[in-house]
Structure 1
Amino acid sequence: MAALPYPQDLKSLTSLRFLAAFWVLLYHFKDHLGLGLGRIGLVADGYLGVDLFFTLSGFILAHVYLEAVSAGRFGYVGFLKNRIARVYPMHLAALVAMVLLYAGATALGAGVGSPEAFKLSDLPAHLLMIHAWGATPAVGWNFPSWSISAEWAAYLMFPLVAALVLNTKRAGLMLGVALALCAASFAALSNLHQVLPWVGRDFSQMTAQIGALRIMPSFLLGVALYNFGRTHAARAERAWPIVYLSTIWVVAVATLNLWEGLTWFGLAGLIYGLAETSRHQRDGAFAGKAFVFLGASSYALYMIHLPIDIVWFHALERFGITETSSTALRLGALAGVFVVCVAAAAIAYLWIEEPARNWIRKLDLPKLMPSPARQPSSAQSR
């Protein structure tokens, strides 16, 4: 008997995107104000929130386009137009914000970081979204956007990834291979500098040099996971237990300081379990309007948090809020930056990201092949 199909709108996975972004922000803010957040395992592993995004991206794109690829109805030009509409407006807006911030700070004699991170010669690579392809020596300007460059590489490769997954007759085997590749790639990153010295040992240098390679195992995992899930439905009463057990797995790996490569098994289970809650219409709080909106605006949150980080924590220093301030004051200041980031992301999503995306999608571009019948919801077209 065929498995119950996934609904078009996987609200639980949209909401999960907010948690992934929040995890990354915790990681990026952990060293501010001397609160010692980096000693918390789950916070220290927050950079893996980016890999959760990569896997979610593969899963959602497979949800929208895999059937069209299988049926020979996939339109590559239309697909890339939708991808540009999805990621480029906020990427450009955040990049402009960083250029203006750096120019203003320089004019005022206030530093925002190393000049090497803000080289004009790196801007063309950022504008073309190739700055994680080895086109720049290290991350710069809007640092988190290296992952958008990596996403762009994965988008270009999507037809090949989809074909690979579809041509593997055993979906479970392909999923197992993808999980193994994720774990193996993580292990390889730790020692890659010994084989390829030019990639560097510093994480920021590695993401600039090989970010386009780092995404591929996670992206493949997302596509393979969807292909497995569409024919292997869990029973309705098991969906949330899968989510809970997967969450416990991720927290346990981080808390017990186990090898981070094991985290992928929990992340895969989390995505599969939440997708099953949507399949059986048991999303619970994850289907709430507020949570889904936070997920929809999570890309803006991820893209604009660096300029807010710089302005907020420099302002705190000017007002005398430092590592020597009371714990309550420092915790309040940290909570404040999250509130500001979420509010700014909501504004950016409603006033920049969504209008620009709709405008680009309406542009009349030549079609090489018909577009897929299934259309992504605005919240899930990452």
Structure 2
Amino acid sequence: MVSSLPNPTLPRLDSLTGLRWWAAFAVFFFHLRNFVDLPAPVAEFARYGNFGVAFFFILSGFVLTWSWREHTGIGTFYWRRFARIYPLHLVTLLVAIPVFYSFNPDPAQTWVKPVDWAIFILCLLMLQGWSRDATVTFAGNPASWTLTVEAFFYALHPFITKVLRLLTGRGALVVAAGVAVLSIAGRVTMIANPTGWFALLPWPVLRLNEFLVGMCLAWAFRTGWRLRLSVWVPVSLTLAYLIGVSVLDRFALTRPLQHVMAMFTSEALLVLFSLLICAAASSDLRGAKSLAFRSRFIVILGEWSYAFYLIHATLIYLTLEIIGHRVSGLTGLLWLAVLLVASIAAAGALHVWIERPVERILRAWQNRKVNARKAVRDARPV
């Protein structure tokens, strides 16, 4: 029996928008390490900032499935996704190329690569993320490799949804748990054979587990399931796990445990991030307040987070090119503040002047086409 949505009008989940900001902020700190020598405790956490990308993938599956409408056609869905991500991708790619490419790169600037038109075409088409060669994967705007992954997810979403509709809420949760178990099994396979077939899978396929878990959890929510858990429980557990990975290696007695935790960090965070998203969504549906996740300021930053994510690395490396060296101490902290403010300001400008208006124009154009076709069909004689 096909499941249907009990209530077609679903509320906005502002905490999930706020969480997008914190994930983007974590990625910012991860990249900032290449320019600023952060204080030791901050640096320990910053090196795990790249896992903010995993959070985005889980959240993407959740949000797309939560907002899914039965009568939205596949073509309309694809166009809306294109309108949402491509215009800003194109703009930030054009801004990034002069920073990361040169016809005569300075060997001292290791992040600057020779101009390669073939790679630029891959970046324009958002295909660079299918390569496991780092020079291709992180080509163009280094942050945009994730858009290759997201585009793959978008392509599959309408078809995966057809399968999800066959599931009850409990069934969706069972599938989510099964995907998590398969992720652990995949990690064991990779550890046992680091050069085997599993380790050679392209990034969009390898990261599909995160998107699937997000989709399954959202479908469970659509059928009425809720997680009665404070948001601060998964936040605390995540911090405790990362502290454990960082600290336990210092003691001989706990070193074996630390090695296991380090090897399975991706899988542990898949579970913890899923709990965080579910707890935050449940909190919103209960009408609870949260300054850290759904205050107006944090939600605005969350709305700007896509632009922030795409522009921040370009600004960091542009500054590094101008300064010519890494910074530390008080100078480093000042540069941290300057780059954070500059990245937020640039993100706000990109969101207000490019991302939002261009998406609105493209969606309106597509809506006119759909309405015109509908009018032609309705005018035909029966």
TM range (shorter): 0.7 to 0.9
Q: CA deviation at 1:45?
A: 1.7
* Match of residue 206 from structure 1: none
Partner amino acid, structure 2, of 1:267: F
User: Secondary structure of 1:269's match?
Assistant: helix
Pair 1:166-2:165 in alignment:
yes
Q: CA deviation at 1:268?
A: 0.5
Give the distance between the partners of 2:110 and 2:179, measured in 1 at CA.
38
Given the alignment, which residue of 221, 235, 255 partners 1:229? 221
Which of these two proteins has the greater Rg computed from alpha carbons?
A: 2
Given the alignment, which residue of 277, 288, 298 partners 1:291? 298
Given the alignment, which residue of 47, 52, 66 partners 2:50? 47
Pair 1:300-2:307 in alignment:
yes
Partner amino acid, structure 1, of 2:346: A
* Match of residue 99 from structure 1: 97
Q: CA deviation at 1:230?
A: 2.7
Post-superposition Cα deviations, 1:254-290, rounded to whole Å, max 9, x if no partner, equal 1101230211111011000110111111132233221
In structure 1, the gaps of 5 or more residues are 200-208, 372-382
Given the alignment, which residue of 284, 287, 293 partners 1:281? 287
Give the distance between the partners of 2:344 and 2:300, measured in 1 at CA.
11
User: Secondary structure of 2:366's match?
Assistant: coil
User: Secondary structure of 1:302's match?
Assistant: helix
Given the alignment, which residue of 264, 268, 274 partners 2:270? 264
Give the distance between the partners of 1:351 and 1:145, measured in 2 at CA.
20
* Match of residue 251 from structure 2: none
Partner amino acid, structure 2, of 1:356: V
Give the distance between the partners of 2:111 and 2:332, measured in 1 at CA.
26
* Match of residue 121 from structure 2: 124
Confirm or deny: 8 A CA contact 1:297 1:345 kept in the other structure: yes
Give the distance between the partners of 1:361 and 1:14, measured in 2 at CA.
21
Pair 1:245-2:233 in alignment:
yes
Give the distance between the partners of 2:127 and 2:50, measured in 1 at CA.
21
Q: 1:113 to 1:355 in 2, by over 3 A?
A: farther
* Match of residue 175 from structure 1: 176
Given the alignment, which residue of 316, 330, 354 partners 1:328? 330
User: Secondary structure of 2:63's match?
Assistant: helix
Partner amino acid, structure 2, of 1:131: Q
Residues 6-21 of structure 1 mapped to structure 2, 5 A cutoff: 7-21=10-24
Given the alignment, which residue of 84, 87, 93 partners 1:86? 84
Pair 1:34-2:20 in alignment:
no
* Match of residue 157 from structure 1: 156
Q: 1:219 to 1:322 in 2, by over 3 A?
A: closer
Give the distance between the partners of 2:112 and 2:155, measured in 1 at CA.
32
Give the distance between the partners of 2:132 and 2:177, measured in 1 at CA.
33
* Match of residue 57 from structure 1: 60
Instruction: Normalising by structure 1, report the TM-score.
Output: 0.80
Q: 1:341 to 1:273 in 2, by over 3 A?
A: same
Q: 1:115 to 1:322 in 2, by over 3 A?
A: closer
Partner amino acid, structure 2, of 1:216: L
Pair 1:210-2:198 in alignment:
no
Confirm or deny: 8 A CA contact 1:249 1:263 kept in the other structure: no
Residues 304-319 of structure 1 mapped to structure 2, 5 A cutoff: 304-317=311-324
Post-superposition Cα deviations, 1:78-125, rounded to whole Å, max 9, x if no partner, equal 00000001110111011101223356x657969754565752111111
Pair 1:255-2:230 in alignment:
no
Q: CA deviation at 1:130?
A: 1.5
* Match of residue 352 from structure 2: 350
Q: 1:164 to 1:192 in 2, by over 3 A?
A: farther
Give the distance between the partners of 1:246 and 1:114, measured in 2 at CA.
36
Give the distance between the partners of 2:118 and 2:330, measured in 1 at CA.
43
Instruction: Normalising by structure 2, report the TM-score.
Output: 0.80
Give the distance between the partners of 1:189 and 1:24, measured in 2 at CA.
25
Post-superposition Cα deviations, 1:188-242, rounded to whole Å, max 9, x if no partner, equal 555675114994xxxxxxxxx712113310110110011122334447xx45x2x
Confirm or deny: 8 A CA contact 1:26 1:46 kept in the other structure: yes
Give the distance between the partners of 2:290 and 2:7, measured in 1 at CA.
19
Q: CA deviation at 1:152?
A: 0.2
Q: 1:197 to 1:183 in 2, by over 3 A?
A: closer
Q: CA deviation at 1:168?
A: 3.4
Q: CA deviation at 1:41?
A: 4.2
* Match of residue 204 from structure 1: none
| Number of aligned residues | 345
* Match of residue 361 from structure 1: 363
Confirm or deny: 8 A CA contact 2:132 2:202 kept in the other structure: no
Post-superposition Cα deviations, 1:10-52, rounded to whole Å, max 9, x if no partner, equal 1010010000000111111124333355885432221111010
Give the distance between the partners of 1:194 and 1:263, measured in 2 at CA.
24
* Match of residue 202 from structure 1: none
